[in-house]
Amino acid sequence: MKKQVLIFFFYALCFCHMVAAQGFRNPVLPGFHADPSVCRAGDDYYLVNSTFQFFPGVPVYHSKDLIHWEQIGACLTRPSQVNLENTDGNSGIYAPTIRYYEGQFYMITTIYPSRRHFYVYTDDPAGEWSDPITIDFAIGSCDPTLFFDDGKCYFLWKDEYIKICEIDVKTGKQLSEIKRLWSGLGGRYPEGPHLYKKDGFYYLMIAEGGTEHGHHVTIARSRFLDGPYEPCPANPILSHFNKEMQNSPIQGLGHADLVEGTDGSWWMICLGYRTSGYLQHVMGRETFLAPVRWDKDAWPVVNGNGTIQLEMDCKTLPQVPMPEEISLDHFDNPEMQLFWSYICNPDMVNYSLKERKSFLRMRASDVSIDNLGAPTFIGRRQTELNFRATTCLDVNGLKEGDEAGIIAYAARLNHYEVQVTCRNGSRYVQAVIRIGQMKHIAYEAKLDSRIVYLRITSDKDFYHLWYSEDNRSFKLLASMEYRYLSTETIGGFTGVHLGLFVQNSRPTKGYADFDFFDYQTGPDF
C-alpha cells in the first residue's frame, strides 16, 4: 500500500510539472543541426536537418513538446536514395523540408553539386523512406518546400525569386505554370521559403542575409496564393544582426519554420550558432526554438521582440522528456547508434560490430581523411564548447603504415587527431594538426602496450590532445586553437564531429578494435 501511495505521488508530481511547464534552454538540438524543418502529426512533432556530405542523410527527430527531441531514424539510409560520392562540407544534402498530409510524411531536399530537387515519403517516419521522386525542372536552385492546399500540392523553391507551381505529388511532374511570389526586402540570398495558410491569408516566410551574422527572417502575406505579397511592417521578425543583440552568444539566426502546437499556440524553430571569442563558431548551425504570438488576422511576433535567448522564460507545452543520447558507447548493440555519421556513402565492409564482441572493428581504407571520398570514419556531433572525448584502442591488428585514432573533424583539410601508426614493426602515438595545406606532427612517442587510451578535450578556446596507457594518467601531447576549425576560418556548412578513423595510403588487411567511445560535456572539461 505504501509503495502504491509513493507511486501515486510521483506521477502526480510529474503531472503537475507537465501542466505548469515553464521555460527551456536553447538550443533544443545542439551541435550541427542546420536548416531545421518541423511538422506536426496529431500530438507528435517531427523535425529534420541538413546533413551535407554525412550519411545517413537527413536525421528524423521526434518530440511531444518541441523542446525534448529523440532521433528515431533518418530519411536517406540507402545508396539508392542518395549518392554522396566525392562530396564535402559545401555539397551534399541541402535544406530539407518535412511535411505531413493525409497520413503521409514527405521530405523534400536538394543535392549538390547537381542542384536537383527530390523528395521521399513514408507513413512511418521512424522506418524506411521511399526511393526518391525527382523534380525534373527547377534545376540549379535550392531550398525546396511543399505546400498542400485544397487537395493540391505546390512546390516552392529559391531562385532569384521565390517561385511556385503545382505538382503531381505521386510523380513530381509540373502541373501549372511557374509564378514568382516574392524576392524579400533586398537582403542577399533570399532563401528557405515556407508557406502557411491562416485566417484567410497565405503567409510566405523566408530567410535573408546569408547564413552568417547577417542572417534574419522576413515574412509577407497575401489573400491569394499567387500574390501579390505584402511585407510585414515589422520585418525582420527575427534577427540578432543589430546593436541590441550584437553581444549575444547566439548569432546567425534564420532559416525558420513555424508549427502550431496542440493547444493552439505557435512556435518557431530556426537555425543559429553559439559563438566563443572572435565571434567564431565550431559546432555548426544549431536548432533553436521560440514562442510565437500569432493573433487572428495579425502578423506573427517572435518571442515578443524578435530575439532568442539561451534561457527561455516562457510558457511551454506540457513538457515530456525523451531518452537522451548515450554518452558512453560500448559498441555492444547489434547496430550502430543513430547519432553516428559517416563521410559520404560508406563501404560497410570496413565496419563490424560482430567480429569481436563489444568492440567496433574498423578496417584501414586507402581513402584518407584528407581526401575526397569515403574514408573509414564514424563521428558524432560536438554539442558543447567544453567536452571530453575518450576512446580505448587495441592496436594489435594494425599493419605497416596503418593510422588509427580519435579525431576532431571539421573538414577534410581541417582536423586535429591523436593516432597510433605502425612503422617498421613498431607502434607510435602521434598528435597531428591539419590546417589547410599544413600537416604537422606535434608529438610522437613509441608505444609499449597494445592497449592505448586516446582523448580530445576542449576548454572553449583550445582543443587538447592526450593519450594514456593505463586510463588513469593522461599525457598532454599538444594544444591548438579552436578557431582553425571554425566556420569563419575554413568555410563550409558543417560543425565539428568527434570520431574514430583508420586509414593507410595503400590497401592493407589491417584493422583497429575500438572498445568504447565516451563523450562527456560540461564546464570541467
Question: In the predicted model, is pLDDT for residue 123 greater than 60?
Answer: yes
| The predicted structure's pLDDT at residue 233 | 98
| The predicted structure's pLDDT at residue 474 | 98
| The predicted structure's pLDDT at residue 524 | 73
Question: In the predicted model, is pLDDT for residue 10 greater than 70?
Answer: no
The pTM of the full predicted model, rounded to 2 decimals, is 0.95
**Residue range 402-421: average pLDDT?**
98
Question: In the predicted model, is pLDDT for residue 467 greater than 70?
Answer: yes
The grid coordinates of residue 454 equal 586516446
For 438-453, the pLDDT digits (tens) are 999 999 999 999 999 9
Question: In the predicted model, is pLDDT for residue 268 greater than 90?
Answer: yes
Burial zone of 294 (CB within 10 Å; 0-12 exposed, 13-18 middle, 19+ buried): buried
| The predicted structure's pLDDT at residue 118 | 98
- Band (336; pLDDT cuts 50, 70, 90): very high
SS (H, E, C) 221-253: EECCCCCCCEECCCCCCEECCCCCCCCCCEEEE
The grid coordinates of residue 407 equal 579525431
Comparing 523 with 491, the larger pLDDT belongs to: 491
Which conformational region is residue 265 in: left (phi greater than 0), alpha (psi within -120 to 50 degrees), or beta?
A: beta
For 212-264, the pLDDT digits (tens) are 999 999 999 999 999 999 999 999 999 999 989 988 999 999 999 999 999 99
| The predicted structure's pLDDT at residue 505 | 85
CA 276 → CA 239, 311, 397, 488, distances in Å?
Answer: 19, 17, 40, 12
- Band (525; pLDDT cuts 50, 70, 90): low
Question: In the predicted model, is pLDDT for residue 11 greater than 90?
Answer: no
| The predicted structure's pLDDT at residue 292 | 98
Comparing 12 with 441, the larger pLDDT belongs to: 441
The residues facing 112 across adjacent strands are 92
For 79-109, the pLDDT digits (tens) are 999 999 999 989 999 999 999 999 999 999 9
- The DSSP secondary-structure symbol of 9 reads H
- b/e per residue 425-443 (b: at least 16 CB within 10 A): eebbbbbbbbbeeeeeeeb
Question: In the predicted model, is pLDDT for residue 5 greater than 70?
Answer: no
- The DSSP secondary-structure symbol of 357 reads T
Residues of the chain above pLDDT 90, percent = 91
Mean pLDDT in the chain?
A: 94
| The predicted structure's pLDDT at residue 14 | 45
For 159-215, the pLDDT digits (tens) are 989 999 999 999 999 999 999 999 999 999 999 999 999 999 999 999 999 999 999
Which conformational region is residue 240 in: left (phi greater than 0), alpha (psi within -120 to 50 degrees), or beta?
A: alpha
For 24-53, the pLDDT digits (tens) are 999 999 999 999 999 999 999 999 999 999
For 470-521, the pLDDT digits (tens) are 999 999 999 999 999 999 999 999 999 999 999 998 888 899 999 999 999 9
The total number of residues shown for the chain amounts to 525
Which of 376, 454, 469, 374 minimizes the C-alpha distance to 416?
454
Chain-centre distance for alpha carbon 370: 22
Q: How many C-beta atoms surround the C-beta of residue 178 within 10 A? A: 15
Q: Which domains does the chain have, with CATH numbers?
A: 2-315 (2.115.10.20), 328-521 (2.60.120.200)
d(CA 139, CA 141): 6
The grid coordinates of residue 327 equal 554518452
Cβ atoms of residues 263 and 225 within 8 Å: no
| The predicted structure's pLDDT at residue 414 | 98
| The predicted structure's pLDDT at residue 8 | 41
| The predicted structure's pLDDT at residue 460 | 85
Active-site residue set: 35, 191
Question: In the predicted model, is pLDDT for residue 12 greater than 70?
Answer: no
